Amino acid sequence: MTSNLDAQLLALLEEGEKAILTADTLARLEELRVSYLGKKGQLGALLRSMGLLSAEERPKIGAIANTVKEALQASLDRQHAALSAAEIMRQLEAETIDVTMPGIYRPQGRVHPLNGIIDRALDIFVGLGYTVAQGPEMETDYYNFEALNTPPDHPARDMQDTFYLQDGNLLRTQTSSVQIRYMETEEPPVRIVAPGRVYRKDDVDATHSAVFHQIELLAIDEGLTFTDLKGTIKVFLEAMFGEVEIRFRASYFPFTEPSAEVDLRWNGRWLEVMGCGMVDPNVLKSVGYDPEVYTGFAAGFGVERFAMVLHQIDDIRRLYSSDLRFLRQF
């Protein structure tokens, strides 16, 4: 019996070592470990027959069994290490970057001149305590005209000036509509700056576009005067253009009274750059503000106009051409 069990253990060791040596994956190696050394494995099955041995035979067979177990485990460990190293090498080869290959050219992006003007203006007004507010580009007649003291017979409502939509709405002609929407939901004091895209039926040429950008500011509080408006505009324009000479000319806007155009002297000549005025009492009434208690001022300018002046651009259409030769200058 002893010699027969000896032979079976040695045969198992020889068979197991051959099988382990030919295992080519870690999964296959785990299957062999379970098959030979698992609780229900082949070595365990042979050892369960030791109960039939005499007391003198058991120590000898037990020593052989331990040797077989240790030898199989050592073979498993060596093959596991070899397969793991091979797997790492395969991953390294698959993930290797050929540093000699030419790279992919990704040109560095730049801020568009229009976005640059908007960012500068917003930074200035936020620094003065204003909050950025925005609204929809598709507007109702009420927000774009009526609430801004623009009656139905006002020239600004002319079909030649405004893009009207089939559903009765329109594309906003000014960002002033944002002021009405904001005041409807907020109580004074109010200090907002509203940037955005606007639309008008202008014939496109070197100085006009049917789509352009505006930035408007609005301040409502007790005791605000035209002097506060002039001081705010002066601080803003000097922050944008440097030390420049500024003048105010009387003008007309339906939603401000009194109203003014703002000019600055640039390269030896006067340039019109902004419109402004004190908020008309009718506008305050339309949002539920008491004009006997609150006053306010508003001002606005075209972003394209500022970009053309600051960057000495001769044609507004260059701003929308997406010509990299032009945009790389900024």
72 and 194 share a domain? no
Q: Which domain holds residue 254?
A: 113-327
Give 64's pLDDT tier (boundaries 50, 70, 90): confident
Residues 151 and 216 in one domain: yes
Q: Both 85 and 143 in a single domain? A: no
Residue 105 inside a domain? The answer is no
What is the number of domains present in the chain?
2
Q: What is the mean pLDDT of residues 238-243?
A: 94
Report in angstroms the alpha-carbon separations of 199 from 38, 117, 143, 144, 167. 79, 19, 15, 12, 17
Which residue would you say has higher pLDDT here, 193 or 168?
Answer: 193
Confidence band of 185 (pLDDT split at 50, 70, 90): very high
Q: Which of the four pLDDT bands, split at 50, 70 and 90, describes residue 1?
A: very low
d(CA 274, CA 262): 5
Same-domain pairing of 147 and 278: yes
- State which of 38, 65, 95 marks the end of a domain: 95
pLDDT at position 160: 57
Beta carbons of 9 and 66 less than 8 angstroms apart? no
Please indicate, yes or no, whether residues 285 and 138 belong to a single structural domain of this protein. Answer: yes
- So what's the pLDDT on residue 159? 57
Give the number of residues written for the chain: 330
323 and 223 share a domain? Answer: yes
pLDDT band of 284, cuts 50, 70, 90: very high
8 A C-beta contact, residue 17 and residue 67: no
294 belongs to a structural domain: yes
Residue 69's pLDDT is what?
Answer: 83
| Alpha-carbon gap, residue 282 to 290, rounded angstroms | 10
Residues 136 and 79 in one domain: no
Task: Show Cβ contacts of residue 288 under 8 Å, excluding neighbours closer than 6 positions.
Answer: 184
pLDDT (mean) for 151-156: 79
Q: What is the mean pLDDT of residues 252-263?
A: 94
Does residue 262 share a domain with residue 198? yes
**Do residue 174 and residue 283 come from a single domain?**
yes
Average pLDDT score over residue span 229-254: 95
Residue 69: inside a domain, yes or no? yes
How confident is the model at residue 72, as a pLDDT? Answer: 84
User: Do the domain assignments include residue 45?
Assistant: yes
From the list 1, 64, 76, the residue with the least C-alpha distance to 37 is 76
Place of tokens 């929809």: 136
The arrangement of strands across the sheet holding 295-302 comes to: 131-132, 190-199, 211-221, 295-302, 269-279, 256-266, 246-253
Beta strand residue intervals within 101-179, DSSP E: 131-132, 138-139, 170-171
Measured from the Cβ of residue 258, the count of other Cβ atoms closer than 10 Å reads 15
38 and 137 co-located in one domain: no
Confidence (pLDDT) at 308: 92
Domain boundary, last residue among 64, 95, 126: 95
Closest CA to 200 of 231, 227, 219, 173: 173
Same domain as 121, residue 88: no
- In terms of domains, do 120 and 269 share one? yes
